[in-house]
Amino acid sequence: MKNIIFVRHAKAVEENAENGDMRRPLDAIGKASIIRQRPALRKMDISSDLVLCSPARRTRETYEGLCDAGLLNDSQCVEFQDDLYMATATKLYQIVKMQRNDFTNLIIIGHNPGLHQLALALVGVGAELDLNQLAQRFPPFSVASVSFDANRWDDVALSAGTLDAFIYPDMSGYNAAALPGSVSAGYAFT
């Protein structure tokens, strides 16, 4: 059995001349969303053998927020990988397939649209409500847990995963149709 937990970084400040995209910190809403979702994340059990995290400031701060909230242990294995920054779904899939097989649980903290596209492409079954919500959105600080009946990471196949859980921040105050990163399920891998 292999498990992947996809975590999109929490909401960050807008890019400006002072903070290029890589240096964008979490904003107050982003920091609060980690705390607000702590009960749901505890039920989800987001433990892992390995955390792969984009080196962008907002993904690092999301990882640190998960540790500060007691949801991850900051002494567990974490790798900040340059190739996770704004990675395509195809690149993320290649990264998943290259992981050591003695790892069972993998967390990827990254960015849309690649993270959302890969989660969609890997899921084949799950609770109808969760599947419908995942198909529609993956806003900042969304978390999707997907399991696979596979013994090796190289055996993780498209449409073979089970969506075990999907949570995202309270959408009140957001125009869901205008959320950045909304994608369709029709992503093609190359």
pLDDT for 32 equals: 92
What does DSSP say about strands 105-110 and 50-53: parallel, antiparallel, or unpaired? parallel
pLDDT for 111 equals: 97
pLDDT for 177 equals: 35
> What angle is formed at CA 65 by the lines to CA 3 and CA 50, rounded to 5 degrees?
30
* Banded pLDDT at 75 (limits 50, 70, 90): low
Work out the average pLDDT over 149-163.
97
pLDDT at 149 over 50: yes
Residue 1 burial (CB count, 10 A): 9
Sign of CA dihedral 68, 69, 70, 74: negative
pLDDT at 22 over 70: yes
CATH hierarchy code of domain 2-9+20-173: 3.40.50.1240
pLDDT at 74 over 50: yes
pLDDT at 184 over 70: no
Residue type, 57: R
H or E segment to which residue 126 belongs:
strand 123-126
State the pTM of this model. Answer: 0.88
Contact between 138 and 8 (Cβ < 8 Å): yes
pLDDT for 144 equals: 96
pLDDT at 120 over 70: yes
pLDDT for 42 equals: 87
The CA distance from 141 to 168, in Å, is 6
Work out the average pLDDT over 110-114.
97
Residue type, 147: S
Q: Pick the range with the lowest mean pLDDT from 26-40, 138-152, 166-180.
A: 166-180
- 159-182 residue pLDDT tens: 999 999 999 886 443 333 333 333
- Give me the residue spans of the domains in the chain: 2-9+20-173
The mean of the pLDDT values for the chain is: 87
**What b/e readout covers 135-172, taking b as 16+ CB neighbours within 10 angstroms?**
bbbbbbbbbbbbbbebeebeebeeebbbbbbbbbbeee
Residue among 107, 143, 149, 109 nearest 125 (CA):
149
